[in-house]
Amino acid sequence: MTNSFNVSAGIAILSLMFFGAVSVHGLETVNLGTAEDFAILTKTGVTTTAGGFIKGDIGTSPIEAAALTGFGLILDSSNTFSTSVLVDGNLYGADYATPTPTKLITAISDMETAFVDAAGRSIPDHIELYTGDLTGAGVALSLKPALTPGLYKWGTGVGFTGGVTFKGSSTDIWILQIANDLTVGPGANIILEGGALPENIFWQVSGKTFIGAGAHVQGILLSKTAIIFDAGSSLTGRALSQTAVTMITTTITS
């Protein structure tokens, strides 16, 4: 009994050392690499309209900093980054001085690797849950239980128009594989219970991501195409897009 326990404990420790955090449900986190340094990271630009506020860094590559529009960029004397009154952090473009181009190339590569990792996870715990309509999951009086830790897979798009609850501990991991678009309706919101953390929720979206007006989302958005934030929407997490991110009076906190 003792030897068996010691072996199991040793395996668990080695898993943490070599593979990163693993939830009590056995799902390994998605390693963002240096993409984790950014609140917003894209390949084709970031646009903000009518203000908003971003807490964290913004980067885009291989497109140049001119594709960071609406921020009123103030180029630093080092020529390696810009600042903005709308951003509590720095903004980076591929045409800035060394070492910025290399930093961005690595971050973009890490973002793409993370997307492939999340998309490639197999043996899902849930397939086509609620036929893609998550509205009301885990909300009082709803017949849909909260989203517990695990791997979720949909062959279609996913959306919700009301509250959605993720329930689990601070070490639990959620990966949501979405084959088409993620559509969050106006005023919809994500609720975390039991200590669940936004950095442990991965939305792997093979289409585009649309966040409706006034909606609040939590988690890491790994989107194959555009991430679009409508007026007054917000995100606690990161917006990592392989095309562009567009925002209207949006608040993002990484």
Query: Residue 17: is its pLDDT beyond 90?
Result: no
C-alpha dihedral over 205, 29, 168, 210, to 10 degrees?
A: -20
User: What CA–CA distance (Å, rounded) separates 56 from 252?
Assistant: 8
Task: Evaluate whether 53 touches 73 at the Cβ level (below 8 Å).
Answer: no
Give the pLDDT score at 18: 35
Q: Which helix (H) or strand (E) holds 233?
A: none
CA distance 201 to 134: 15
Whether the CB-CB separation of 188 and 233 falls below 8 Å is answered with: no
Phi and psi dihedrals of 80, rounded to 5?
A: -100, -15
| 131 CB-side CA count, 13 A | 0
Average pLDDT over residues 140-164: 97
Q: How far is CA 234 from the centre of its chain?
A: 12
Please check whether residue 210 is in contact with residue 239, taking contact to mean a CB–CB distance below 8 angstroms.
no
pLDDT at 115 over 90: yes
- The token duo for 158 is 């996913």
- pLDDT tens, 27-62? 999 999 999 999 999 999 999 999 899 999 999 999
For 90, other C-beta atoms within 10 Å of its C-beta total 18
pLDDT tens column, 213-230: 999 999 999 999 999 999
Q: Is the pTM of this model over 0.85?
A: yes
> What's the chain's Rg over C-alpha atoms?
19
Provide the 10 A C-beta neighbour count for residue 222: 31
Sole residue written with tokens 């056995």: 26
Residue 228: name the closest of 31, 33, 42 by CA: 42
Q: Give the pLDDT confidence score for residue 29 in this predicted structure.
A: 98
Q: Which residues are CB-contacts of 125 (< 8 A; sequence separation ≥ 6)?
A: 25, 150, 151, 152
Average pLDDT, the chain: 92
Amino acid identity for residue 203 in this structure: W
